[in-house]
Structure 1
Amino acid sequence: MSKEFIEQCFLWNIFIFNILQMKLMYYGECVCLRALELEDLDDILKHWNNLELRQYLSSQTPMSRQAERQWLERATTLDPWRDGGMTLAIEDKKTKEFLGTVSLFTISSQHKAAEFGIAIHNPENLSKGYGTDATRVMLWIAFHILGLNSVFLRTLDSNKRAQKAYEKAGFKNAGVTRQGAFVKGTFHDAIIMDILKEEFLKVYPPGTEVGKP
């Protein structure tokens, strides 16, 4: 077991302790990221079955309260090292309104890579900068705390609003999976975007405020 591996485990455990036990929040310009709580269930269900939101998610079928509660129970106990993923709640920095969730999936300790996902639940909160800000904070966590080297995402070719937000956060177009998504009876190309740690650190080097608790 390498020294680097042990150090990475230590950093991840400190992060889990801080955000789950100490209830620390990570702040951007207009949002803060915090641990999900079971009390978030009602806020999640308000808009979770909205068709405008679900068409861009991996599952487009309606979710029951029971199914969503089971998902939330798992999400509140995820360990990025043990389970390979983590999901945090997005709040408005001033009003504390629940805005949505942001996640890292398939976290690989070997490749120091992960997949990114985000959902702003209420359509009225789109195009207000929340998504871009939450993305930057999560990338700060990914690179500064979890020690990852690259983060990638998939989005529909038709989701121009999301692509614009990801570009603002620093993601670059990395390719296309042709007809990689089936939405509303039609195949769509899936756009692959990614960002490297070195690219993110040029804009947000150690000591910057983005993501600091």
Structure 2
Amino acid sequence: MELRGERIILKNLELEDLTDRHRWLNNPEVTRFFTNQGSFPLSQTEMVQWFNTTVTRSQEEIHLAIWTNHGKHIGGAQLKAIDWRNRGAELGVFIGEISEWGKGVATEATQLLLQYGFLTLGLHRIWLRVDSENVAAIHCYQKNGFRTDGIFRDEVYRNGGFHDSLVMSILKEEFMISINQDEKK
């Protein structure tokens, strides 16, 4: 699968992509706001096992690699915990190449995932969890129409203290309204 944007392409995650992903997920600067911080660092063997058991076999997860249109692998994006009955999924996006931070790439990747989730998969609700201190990510999600549903208080233990996570979501009808408004501009 390939989802093309103006500056990026989301492609199925391949085994060859794990070298970059391993480097990124073992960089504390990249993972500092991850809500599943206890999962890192990861060995290359653990990454390959995860790929073989989850990425290649799961009907409830779609893992993609983010590439620039110039052929540079820069991050990952996923829809996971896909609930086909209730038509919902959890969205995740990360930019592993720090030199690409602040360029709107995560916003574009989120937009592409929303389009795919709502228009191709027929999902009704897409949600996410984000560290309450990750201002850039929260701005990215709000820009894409996500609303805050609630707060998981003291959910993540990091650097000697507990931190809140926000739960945010967007419904298909809200996404469609935002697309229609963008087309009118």
TM-score normalised by L of structure 1? 0.79
Q: How far is 1:55 from its partner? A: 2.0
Matched, 1:88 2:64: yes
**Residue 28 of structure 1: aligned partner:** 5
> In 2, Cα distance between the equivalents of 1:38 and 1:178?
36
Task: For structure 2, list consecutive stretches of 5 or more residues without a partner in the other structure.
Answer: none
1:26-81: per-residue Cα shift (whole Å, max 9, x none)?
111211111111111222223221101122221343111111122223354144xx
Which runs of structure 2 are paired with 1:66-77 in the superposition (5 Å)?
A: 66-77=45-56
* Distance of aligned partners of 1:198 and 1:130 in 2 relative to their CA distance in 1, 3 Å threshold: same
> In 2, Cα distance between the equivalents of 1:138 and 1:78?
20
**Residue 3 of structure 1: aligned partner:** none
Matched, 1:158 2:136: no
Which runs of structure 2 are paired with 1:43-192 in the superposition (5 Å)?
A: 43-57=20-34, 58-60=36-38, 61-79=40-58, 83-93=59-69, 95-192=70-167
Runs of 4+ residues deviating >3 angstroms: none
Task: For structure 1, list consecutive stretches of 5 or more residues without a partner in the other structure.
Answer: 1-18, 20-24, 209-213
> In 2, Cα distance between the equivalents of 1:192 and 1:179?
13
User: What is the RMSD computed on CA atoms of the aligned residues?
Assistant: 1.6
> In 1, Cα distance between the equivalents of 2:78 and 2:154?
24
Report which of the two structures shows the higher radius of gyration computed on alpha carbons: 1
> In 1, Cα distance between the equivalents of 2:176 and 2:5?
16
Is the contact made by 2:55 and 2:61 (CA closer than 8 Å) also made in structure 1?
no
Is the contact made by 2:65 and 2:73 (CA closer than 8 Å) also made in structure 1?
yes
> In 1, Cα distance between the equivalents of 2:110 and 2:57?
19
TM-score normalised by L of structure 2? 0.90
